[in-house]
Amino acid sequence: MKDFIKFTFATVLGIIISSVLLSIIGIGMIFSILASSDTEVKVEPNSIMTISLNGTISERANEDPFAMLSSDSEIEAYGLDDILSAIQKAKDNDNIKGIYLDLNAVGAQPATLQEIRNKLKEFKESGKFIISYSDNYSQGAYYLASVSDKVLMNPYGTITWMGVSSQFMSYKGLMDKVGVKMQIFKVGTYKSAVEPFILKEMSDANRAQVKAFTGSIWESYLSDIAESRNLTTEQLDGYANEGLVFAQSETFVEKGFVDTLVYRNDVEKLLKGKMEVEEDDELNTISLESMKNVIRNVPKDKSGNLIAIYYAEGEIDDTKTKDHIGALRVIKDLKKIEQDDNIKALVLRVNSPGGSAFGSEQIWKQIKEIKLKKPVVVTMGDYAASGGYYISCNADYIFAQPTTLTGSIGIYGMIPEASELIEKLGINFETVGTNKFADMMSFTRPMTAEEGALLQKHINEGYELFVTRCADGRKTGIDDIKKIAEGRVWTGSMAKELGLVDELGGIDDAIEKAKQLAEIESYSIVTYPEKPSMLEEIMNNIPSGMISIFGNSDLNKITKQFEWMVDLENFNPVQARIPCHLEIQ
């Protein structure tokens, strides 16, 4: 018996020690690989930069230390900042002669694609070439590829060319079945974020605004592609009605979408011919990932002047969260920028559908404080709508992409009421309170008319404040803002005509404008918020890292539509935002 206990103890101890050692070795390997990836990379003469995009693009992508262990190699995440920086470095580097775009399904909204395409166009205009290839182009991928000198496609490939759409998803039927009602208080005929909870179909007003902004995005796509491919917008628009996604690949050559049909394995031969490299010789290439560690060949700034870029991405709430635009955290960061005398201007990059009206007001106030000391320029990403526009409207100057979704100046309140569900479950509640409004926000009963009137009054006052902030920021009248408010969503092109933004452009344009307003000649860039350290990334990603190794990525496609339920504890009932998860296809 003693031997058995000793043997068992020794076995268990051995397993524990082995596990600890393996963990240490594993973490050590991760650190080693990541450390080696930070070493400076040199570009060989006569090189091509390869950009392979087959995944999602966010404003800034943090390093995932578990990505190398994941079995799902098809899932990739890219930072827009890294992509733009890499293209700029390639443009400035004499050893790089061109870019090879390897594209498939690019997970990005139109304004992000437009930002990348404009940077590629700038690269091309410098005298260098771009060649693109895909086995099958998604519509977004083709929009990027169309700027190329040559567009290549697999002889049995296709292009998804069908137009732009936005899908409405309703929870009303589900909520009716479970016995939950949403009590809605809003201002704005077009404030449609509440519609999925109270309607099974889009309202006429919402349908009209979606038709308008999807049409505006489509016109921008058509215009850009027509210019690059020497086609007319009428031709391209007509082709979208022909069901070309099922056409033979030769059709895309005949109609001017594609230049050459070639198998993937033969693309390298074409690239070698372009670079005048012998078939048996090696083609010098450098990846997007490696380009991060190439030192940009520009003189180092010695002025001490800084321009800060602050990335405000995600929904707005009232917390210190790092996953969204946590108002308390953002205000703290912006206060540091305000107090740093070396920072001469702030470029606020906004990519947000909105969120808490209260949180938006707090951020607006801090932007106002910064403006007393230094200029603030806003550059809008895919969204800068509702609360996203709230935090933008006070800037000295505002840039948007033509396909940015912005405006949506309106506010709503949404209070769940589950008395029917409670009755179905056989649960009974009895409330004892000291005053008549003591349980005003209870989900166990409908609100009274008096309670509803109080909340609607609060929403009305919030709307008036929002409109006033916009009018003051844009230096126009309140009535002028109200004419284009009512919660209506506009594209950047529309917003420019309406005076909600100053100019169409991207991050580089905003930086140049900030430099002019600050009246400085030279500067360095500093970015906020600070990215997590590698140790923080490892610790923060342990659970998700394990899930990504063993989990099913398709689950994300289903659960994304219900993310609004996850953060209910931080949900402010008074919201300034556009519809949940508005996806443009």
What is the maximal distance between C-alpha atoms in the chain? Answer: 90
Task: Locate 111 and state its tokens.
Answer: 């304004």
CA distance 401 to 449: 44
Give DSSP secondary structure letters for 44-88: PSSEEEEEEE-SEEESSPPP-TTGGG-S-TT--EEEHHHHHHHHH
CA distance 155 to 144: 20
Pairing mode, if any, of strands 181-187 and 411-417? antiparallel
Please tell me what DSSP assigns to residue 446: P
Which class for 406: exposed (0-12), middle (13-18), buried (19 or more C-beta within 10 A)?
Answer: buried
Which of these, 339, 373, 343, 379, lies nearest to 523 by C-alpha position? 343
- First-to-last alpha carbon distance for the chain, in angstroms, is 69
Question: How many other CB atoms are there within 10 angstroms of residue 303's CB atom?
Answer: 12
Is-catalytic flag, 533?
Answer: no
Cα dihedral across residues 143, 149, 154, 157: positive or negative: positive
Q: Exactly one of 191, 255, 374, 515 is catalytic; which is it?
A: 191
How far, in Å, are 136, 228, 262, 568, 584 from residue 158 at the CA level?
Answer: 5, 19, 12, 42, 21
Pairing mode, if any, of strands 574-577 and 354-356? antiparallel
Give DSSP secondary structure letters for 245-273: GGS-HHHHHHTTS-SEE--GGGHHHHHHH
Q: Exactly one of 216, 386, 408, 493 is catalytic; which is it?
A: 386
Contacts of 269 (CB under 8 A, 6+ apart): 279
Residue pair 424/353 in contact by the 8 Å Cβ criterion: no
Is-catalytic flag, 274?
Answer: no
Which of these, 557, 554, 566, lies nearest to 169 by C-alpha position? 557
CA distance 156 to 343: 54
Which of these, 220, 289, 242, lies nearest to 38 by C-alpha position? 289
| Kind plus residue range of the DSSP H or E element containing 405 | strand 405-407
Could you tell me the strand order of the sheet in which 129-137 lies?
260-261, 150-159, 129-137, 96-103, 47-53, 284-287
Residue pair 389/312 in contact by the 8 Å Cβ criterion: no
- Mind telling me the catalytic residues? 191, 386
